[in-house]
Structure 1
Amino acid sequence: MLTGQCLCGNVSFKYDGPLGPIALCHCSQCRRTHGSAFSASAPIQKLRFQLLSGDESIREYESRPGKYRAFCSNCGSQLYSRVDAIPGILRLRVGVINEPLQKGPAQHVFVGSKSDWFEITDQIPQFEKTERTNDPH
């Protein structure tokens, strides 16, 4: 069981299922959304994700046709993204999880558009675009 919340605590959730591989996405949309060199997210099963509070605080932004990025309207914390083409999967932003994850990132994706001010120095596999099919990052 994993739990999590946004920065202000308005939105809280629990997740009772497997956490997929963590991807560090360096695309320009993720960099802008997070104000950082990359985002860290993992796929989860929507059916096993339950909001405990703050449903009314969640807003979604359609960043491209059929892709939505969810965030807390009070504090701006990024929560997850989803795509219409894969209705049963969310990409949970792992920074909002309360518990230790017991695993690290599995891959860097979209390194072809990474920022020029960040150097990747680890040995995690890097992909110019992505190896994930129907990627909702």
Structure 2
Amino acid sequence: MTDHFGSCLCGTVKFSVKGEFDSFYLCHCQYCQKDTGSAHAANLFSNSAKLVWQSGADAVTSFTLPGTRHNKSFCKLCGSALPSAQMADVLVVPAGCLDTEVNMLPTAHIFLSSKAAWDEGLAEVPKFEERPD
């Protein structure tokens, strides 16, 4: 069994995930675009892994969009995305909140029908190791 560790940006919330991830989806739905402020969310899913809050559990809050299954858990101090176990059958872990390496490639892009118009031809965009001057 693999343990994964993660935290929020301000360091208040720390957690571990005990077990394996089943899938890794890059979700392009409009809800994920809104709650990440980006082209897509990068979420790991597990039907068997267990989430353990190591510290800061009282700083974790969540929001479920009314009328949907779309849920986001986050640190109420810094706003960082955090794991969510709101759906009884699946643990959803934002890949970017993990402090340990993710040893799997994304399984698939999903909800491409909602893909942002500017999320095309990104391989041609200039690349920099740090913020350019």
TM over 0.5: yes
Over alpha carbons, which structure has the higher Rg?
2
- Pairwise CA distance, 1:80: 2.8
- Pairwise CA distance, 1:81: 3.7
Unaligned runs of 5+ residues in structure 2 are 124-133
Structure with bigger strand share is 1
Name which of 3, 24, 38 aligns with 2:5: 3
More moved, 44-53 vs 103-112: 44-53
Q: Percent identity?
A: 29
Q: In the superposition, relative to structure 1, how do residues 109 and 58 fare at CA in structure 2: closer, same or farther (>3 Å)?
A: same
Output the TM-score relative to the length of structure 2.
0.81
Counterpart of 1:131?
none
Q: Is the CA contact (8 Å cut-off) linking 1:2 and 1:16 kept in structure 2?
A: yes
Q: Is the CA contact (8 Å cut-off) linking 2:27 and 2:42 kept in structure 1?
A: yes
Output the TM-score relative to the length of structure 1.
0.79
RMSD: 2.0
Matches within 5 A, 1:1-137: 1-45=3-47, 48-65=50-67, 67=69, 68-83=71-86, 86-119=87-120
Cα separation, 2, equivalents of 1:15 and 1:82: 11
Cα separation, 1, equivalents of 2:4 and 2:99: 7
Question: Which ranges of 4 or more aligned residues in structure 1 deviate by more than 4 Å?
Answer: none
Q: In the superposition, relative to structure 1, how do residues 66 and 29 fare at CA in structure 2: closer, same or farther (>3 Å)?
A: closer
Cα separation, 1, equivalents of 2:30 and 2:47: 26
